[in-house]
A = this chain, B = another copy of it.
Amino acid sequence: MGWEELVAKKRKALAELIPEKWRIPADILPADSQHSVISYPETSSLLSDEELTITQLTVKELVEKIASRKYSAVQVCEAFCHRAAIAHQLVNCLVEIFFDAAVERAIELDDYLFKEGKTVGPLHGVPISLKDQFRVKGVECSMGYVAWLGNIDEEESVMTTLLRKAGAVLYVKTSVPQSVMCCETMNNIIGRTLNPYNRLLSCGGSSGGEAALIALHGSSIGIGTDIGGSIRTPAAFNGLWGIRPSHGRMPFAGIRSSMDGQETVHCVCGPIAHRAEDLAYFMKAILEQEPWHYDPKVIEIPWREEKYNEGRTGKKIFGITTVNGVMGFDGVVMPHPPILRGIQMVVNALRRAGHTVVEWQPYKHKYAVDLVRKIYRADGGEDIRNALTLSGEPAISEVAHDYGPGANEKIDLNTMWDIQIKKYKYQQEYMAIWMERNEINAWIQPEAPHAAIRHDQYKYNGYASVISLLDYPAVVVPVTFAQKETDIKDLNYKPISDLDMQVHDEYQADVYHGAPVAVQIIGRRLQEEYVIGLAEQVGRALASS
């Protein structure tokens, strides 16, 4: 079968998995010309009041209300399945749908609660969406590759197993870019996933399907992966919270990925959700399952509630990435006006809330960005091209650019070791800075130099990738939305490089109007609890300012 046929078959099968009753009637389906669909689920009257209520609860509330039998797990499951089906029809975010299995599981959970008088675990009845790299028994995992369609998994990722153990309900897998090594979400299988705030904009990537789905409350919490921003960028582009945990904190075993076996910069997995509290609740729930008994790379560090509480209380000192007096600038690519304003809002809010904000000089970020890019492209694209060749599908434009024949040469093993020495040295140098400026509790910088970007315009992930190279925990905090009235393009700006110019040129105040703006809160390695706590404070400061 040719790749186009495989795709046609997949699209048809996927469409059929949306129950008829949940298909949006043609007459009320928003036209392509309607850019924002973020309010559609609430305004369309397709969902019942109860479904709307359920799908906007926090994760903790969901568990509590199922435990207290206010809602059954089945009710909750169906509400999310319904809303996810609607979300998909708006932004094309799902690649695997298994509502039937989900309802079956919810029935089991209700039975268990009825018979045993207690919940299965801390995620009892919570529907959790998974990026299409996680393996679920009986479900395909194509990861944006046509050739991988038909790979029905018989084994599961450790995370999948632990989610079940904690009582979660699995119901969908969300779309990813071809190869997952991109910061937008486009593949030849289901096409492009759109940003619900503005469908002319990207939902980010590679966990773009997750973020688009969650933004529409088709999921209360989902799990993405991040090797250079793939959790954080979609969270930032969709007005959500997300955490890139340090490597070794969350189980990654059994997750499919590109360039599998590459261990120089680790891909990690972590949640995307609507609130800091959801991130904390989720990580605690997973750590209670003792993932270090299932994945040899997970470190035996249980959830440390005291660190979380330490982060979320008290007056703190935050560093703000600053170059040449421009707060938010990493010295490589100047952020667009909405981001600079977002950073200023954060600074103002923190100061108003009594915190201290100081300058944080980014240390050799250009060097680090170049170094980590070499790692991403270390095999010259061989692994990715092999996967494309299997089906004959063409590379999407981002993949062609970064991994096409001749784009990069494969690195020799000793060169890779040199890169690993440099990485370690860079980590040591950054650690020395933290030690010198020991009073600083966290460091804040943009997640990207722009708000959610126009399709196919993503060019610079250095704000995110440096953090991956350093292996620091980073929490994305949504700040505001681009405003054409205030976020005026600086026509006198003199770009410092071609790349800087390209990014600068991309900005147009009216095109970006309404695009989500976010920052990331960055802490020291393995301090996830503390950083989530600090991010919560940032969120609180913003909300009350």
Contact = CB atoms under 8 A, between A and B. Distances in A.
A64 interface: no
B431 A294 contact: yes
A417 B261 contact: yes
Contacts of A414: 379, 382-383, 410
Interface string A511-530: 00000000000000111000
Nearest to A472: B296
Contacts of A259: 417
A379 B417 contact: yes
Interface in A26-80: none
B526 A299 contact: yes
A116 to B, nearest CB: 24
Interface string A178-211: 0000000000000000000000000000000000
Residue among A379, A410, A417, A434 with the highest chain B CB neighbour number at 10 A? A417
A428 B296 contact: yes
Interface in A374-422: 378-379, 382-383, 410-414, 416-421
A411 B412 CA distance: 9
A300 interface: yes
B261 A263 contact: no
Contacts of A118: none
Interface size class of A (residues with CB under 8 A): 35 or more
A525 to B, nearest CB: 6
Interface in A280-308: 292-297, 299-301
Contact of A301 (B253, B263, B299, B383): B299
Contacts of A297: 424, 427
Residue among A296, A301, A420, A435 with the highest chain B CB neighbour number at 10 A? A296
A431 to B, nearest CB: 5
B383 A525 contact: no
A123 to B, nearest CB: 21
B293 A431 contact: yes
B262 A417 contact: yes
A471 interface: yes
Nearest to A527: B300
Contacts of A361: none
A295 B417 contact: no
B296 A418 contact: no
Given A379-B413, A414-B382, A414-B383, A296 B424 contact: yes
Contacts of A412: 410, 413
Contacts of A253: 424, 428
5 contacts: A261-B416, A262-B417, A293-B431, A294-B431, A300-B526
